[in-house]
Amino acid sequence: MSGFTFVDLFCGAGGFSLGFIETGFTCVLAADHDQYAVRTYQLNLGNHVHCFNITNQTDLPYADVVIGGPPCQGFSSAGLRRLHDQRNSLIRVFANLVANIKPKAFVFENVEGFLTIDNGSLLLDLLDPLIEAGYRVHVRKVNAANYGVPQNRKRIIVIGGFGWDPTFPLPTHQAFGAPGAANACRHLPLCPTLADALADLPPPALIPPGEPQGYVVRELSPLDQQRITLLQPGQSMKDLPVSLWHESYRRRAFRRVRDGMPSERRGGAPFGLRRLRLDQPASTITSGALTEFVHPVEHRFLTLRECARIQSFPDHFVFVGSNHSCILQIANAVPSLLSKIVASTLWQDLQAGRHLQTISSGALLSFVPTVASGMSPVLQRVDMLVRNRYLQSHRVQEQLSLWP
């Protein structure tokens, strides 16, 4: 092995690892509990991946960098938020493993809801052990579109250096096509569109496996065909006659005023179906994309391969398992292009010897929870909690003002 090494915890299908491997890092271990995701990873990236429960591990190998994105479904905005979901405890598992291994750096990725669930308690679960261990940390919400991914996908990226100040990767593009997406990076070129992502694909196959793999259309029911035919680019189920709504959509559309459930336990506003637009980045790819995202021109749903392209997976990357398993692997992945930009910035820091600094104390270097002009009440509380707990200077305000 040459260069720098990394360990990928909760590796899934390997989107996060792919960006690091393409940069030049060598993976000494990748691990996940999902056997199909592990088989996908192994087929595409190598035999250093293993299927096991990470919570039972205490003797993981040393590497220069530890990366990971613990499962997010417990607090994803795509569904009901489950505060006591067992998966939420994996945040502290990740933090404790990093604190024990003490790599030169770590990178953590998760959904934007990670910041606000239980008024920021999961964020503290991550930061407390790491800062106490001596890590100097950036916490920022980013949009993958700002890094050239053809998709508006807001995620939390946390980067820490053990006794040194890592560089947070600079955006490469301006995002657009979603509320607030253009608030940052106005001086940069526009991010790629869905048309760019789907360019040069031939007509899709009608039977598996398709070429490239997963480029297969599924047969529509007469009712879905009727719904899809009526949708114009940019429209969703709310634009259809009520008689054509899914029953599940009907329940979700009205539940906010009928059932009295606290708003912090809800997912985002439902779409049911949405026809995407060629001239904009795609919406966030989720596990429901195969039955909710309609092709911008053709009267059909997106295919697995189109979803993979939107997530910046190369066409030669093959997924193992059922359609349901494969779309979960794709939707849960860190876009490999975003990963590569993060990895390249970290590689440059390590090559330059920035990790040889000797700063004895851990610290929160920056906290950028949003680039919007305002914050929700719960995000305001989290912001105040973080400032009072970790920040002893005005540096965070400088970071906030410089980010856009």
User: How many other CB atoms are found less than 10 A from the CB of residue 303?
Assistant: 24
> CA geometry: angle at 132 spanning 120 and 90, to 5°?
50
Catalytic residues: 72
Strand positions, DSSP E, 121-278: 135-143, 154-162, 274-275
pLDDT higher at 113 or 333? 333
Amino acid at 186: R
Mean pLDDT of 337-358: 95
- The Cα–Cα gap between 132 and 285 comes to 35
Q: 31 with 49: CB under 8 angstroms?
A: yes
pLDDT at 2: 57
pLDDT tens digits, residue range 48-104? 999 988 877 777 999 999 999 988 554 444 444 444 544 448 899 999 999 999 999
Start-to-end C-alpha separation, the chain: 39
User: How many other CB atoms are found less than 10 A from the CB of residue 300?
Assistant: 16
Tally the residues of the chain: 404
Cβ contacts of 403 within 8 Å, gap of 6 or more: 140, 184, 368, 371
Ramachandran class of 39: left when φ > 0, alpha when ψ lies in -120 to 50, beta otherwise: alpha
- Reference 5, options 48, 68, 67, 63; nearest CA is 63
Backbone angles phi, psi at 338, to 5 degrees: -60, -45
Backbone angles phi, psi at 344, to 5 degrees: -65, -40
Helix residue spans in 259-322 (DSSP H): 289-292, 304-310
pLDDT tens digits, residue range 136-157? 999 999 999 999 999 999 999 9
User: How many other CB atoms are found less than 10 A from the CB of residue 24?
Assistant: 13
Cis check for the bond before 71: say yes or no (omega within 30 of 0): no
| pTM reported for the whole predicted model | 0.90
- Token readout for 396 is 């965070």
User: Which residue ranges form the domains of the chain, and what is each CATH number?
Assistant: 5-188+335-402 (3.40.50.150), 194-238+274-332 (3.90.120.10)
Helix (H/G/I), strand (E/B), else coil: 163:
coil
pLDDT band of 397, cuts 50, 70, 90: very low
Q: Is the pLDDT of residue 394 over 80?
A: no
Q: 268 with 284: CB under 8 angstroms?
A: no
Handedness of CA 101, 162, 64, 310 (dihedral sign): positive
- The Cα–Cα gap between 78 and 93 comes to 23
Cβ contacts of 67 within 8 Å, gap of 6 or more: 6, 7, 8, 9, 16, 17, 20, 106, 107, 108, 109
Task: For residue 266, give the DSSP letter.
Answer: -
- The Cα–Cα gap between 163 and 136 comes to 6
Is beta strand 293-294 parallel, antiparallel or unpaired with respect to 274-275? parallel
- Residues above pLDDT 70, as percent of the chain: 87
- The Cα–Cα gap between 177 and 191 comes to 10
pLDDT tens digits, residue range 178-190? 988 888 899 999 9
pLDDT band of 396, cuts 50, 70, 90: very low
